[in-house]
Amino acid sequence: MESKIDALREDFLSELGQAGSVADLDTIKIKYLGRKQGIVSNFLKDLPNLNPEERPLAGKLANKLKVFISGELRNKSEILEHESRSEFAGIDITLPGKYCSSGKFHPISTVKKEVESIFLRMGYAIEEGPEIETDYYNFEALNMPRNHPARDMQDTFYISDDHVLRTQTSPVQIRYMEKRKPPLRMISLGKTFRRDWDVTHTPQFYQMEGLAVDRHIHFGHLKGTLIFFLKQLFDKDIQIRFRPSFFPFTEPSAEIDISCILCKGKGCRICSGTGWLEVLGAGMVDPNVFSFVDIDSEEFTGFAFGLGIDRVAVLKYGITDSRMLYENDLRFLRQFP
AA letter at 177? M
Least confident of 5-9, 83-87, 139-143, 231-235: 83-87
Burial of 275 (0-12, 13-18, 19+ CB in 10 A): middle
Most confident of 38-42, 150-154, 200-204: 200-204
| Domain endpoint, select from 31, 51, 85 | 85
Across residues 240-250, what is the average pLDDT?
93
Mean pLDDT of 70-80: 83
Contact 206, 216 (CB under 8 A): no
Pair (141, 53) in one structural domain: no
Which of 24, 52, 85 is a domain's end point? 85
Domain of residue 185, CATH code: 3.30.930.10
For residue range 195-204, what is the model confidence (pLDDT) as tens digits? 877 777 788 8
Question: Which of 297, 333, 287 shows the shortest CA–CA distance to 143?
Answer: 287
Give the helix/strand (H/E) hosting 274: none
Q: What is the pLDDT of residue 123?
A: 94
Would residue 126 count as lying in a domain? yes
User: 213 and 184 in contact (C-beta within 8 Å)?
Assistant: yes
Closest to 182 in 3D by CA, of 295, 75, 261: 295
Same domain, 167 and 274: yes
Percent of the chain with pLDDT over 90: 43
The domain total for the chain is 2
- As a whole number of angstroms, the distance between CA 49 and CA 191 comes to 91
Q: Determine, yes or no, domain membership for 95.
A: no
Are 242 and 292 members of one domain? yes
- Domain holding 182, by residue range, is 107-333
pLDDT above 60 (res 242): yes
Left if phi > 0, otherwise alpha if psi is -120 to 50, otherwise beta: which for 123? Answer: left
Looking at the domain assignment, is residue 11 inside a domain?
yes
Same domain assignment for residues 32 and 178: no
pTM value > 0.75: no
Higher local confidence (pLDDT), 46 or 258: 258
58 and 155 share one domain: no
Q: Percent of the chain scored above 70 by pLDDT?
A: 95
1-36 pLDDT tens trace: 677 777 778 888 888 888 878 888 888 888 877 877
In this prediction, residue 90 has a pLDDT band, given cuts at 50, 70 and 90, of low
- Left if phi > 0, otherwise alpha if psi is -120 to 50, otherwise beta: which for 57? alpha
